[in-house]
Structure 1
Amino acid sequence: MNFSNEVNHIKVPIIEMPEFQERGYGDAEGLTPKERLTLFPDGVYPNQEDRLSLTKRVVEGLKEINIRFHDKKVLLVAHGAVINAILYELSDGEVGSGKTSLINACISNIEFRQQAWAIINFNQVNHLSSYGG
């Protein structure tokens, strides 16, 4: 592969929002998959953030984005649990948490229209095709 050394810069502010931090995995935080399986073979992690709290948190973040950046394009970068929580909430449980396996580095597009958030598409990977094999 021949990668260009050219770097494109987008001059926009980077804003960290705690509402979009990855789900807290409690006692399993920072463990390798093997360690998690050994310590928690049932997949239940003590002190893990529950899905309802996660969903409430990300919905508050979406409200904040809509207030602060209404009618603007926003790039939200987040981990899978956060993205799945957003998709689950916006689709009334049709996709997202417990139903959708997101591909690493995928893009999901949502839009605020007619006083509500709507999913345009999700799990998009076309932008990766020139790098994959």
Structure 2
Amino acid sequence: MRPDPLALGKHIVAQLKAQISDVRQIVQRGELTDVTSGEQVSPSLYVIYVRDVLPGDGQSMEAQNHILQQWMVVAALQGSTDQMLAKAGELLAKARAALLGWTPDAALYDPLQATTPPAAVYVSDWGYFPLLFTADFYA
């Protein structure tokens, strides 16, 4: 049986919880709109599965067993712009330190690498600041 292709999310949440204590919650969400439209607490970190990318032609057995997964970590904060930016910078640095080069299972994943995230989103007095990580997953 193949391994759970979305198991990395719960491992990312556990790693962030083990490394970062000054947030009110660290949880998984379905997509960024789930974060911006739902109930939130500040400060929070949300882990979001983005997508799988098949490297190469995607048709060979090797390509189908090697998947690049993208996972986003979003810092959600409420307050003035200055307050949000100061706290977001602090939280993003901690999240990056906790996840960059980390892997929960060397047999299934290569270490996480940073990639270009989407732009920050501002809604009313909330700010959403994303990081994006890529992990090679071997199914």
Using structure 2 for the length normalisation, give the TM-score.
0.28
Structure with a larger share of its residues in strand: 2
Greater Cα radius of gyration, structure 1 or 2: 1
Using structure 1 for the length normalisation, give the TM-score.
0.29
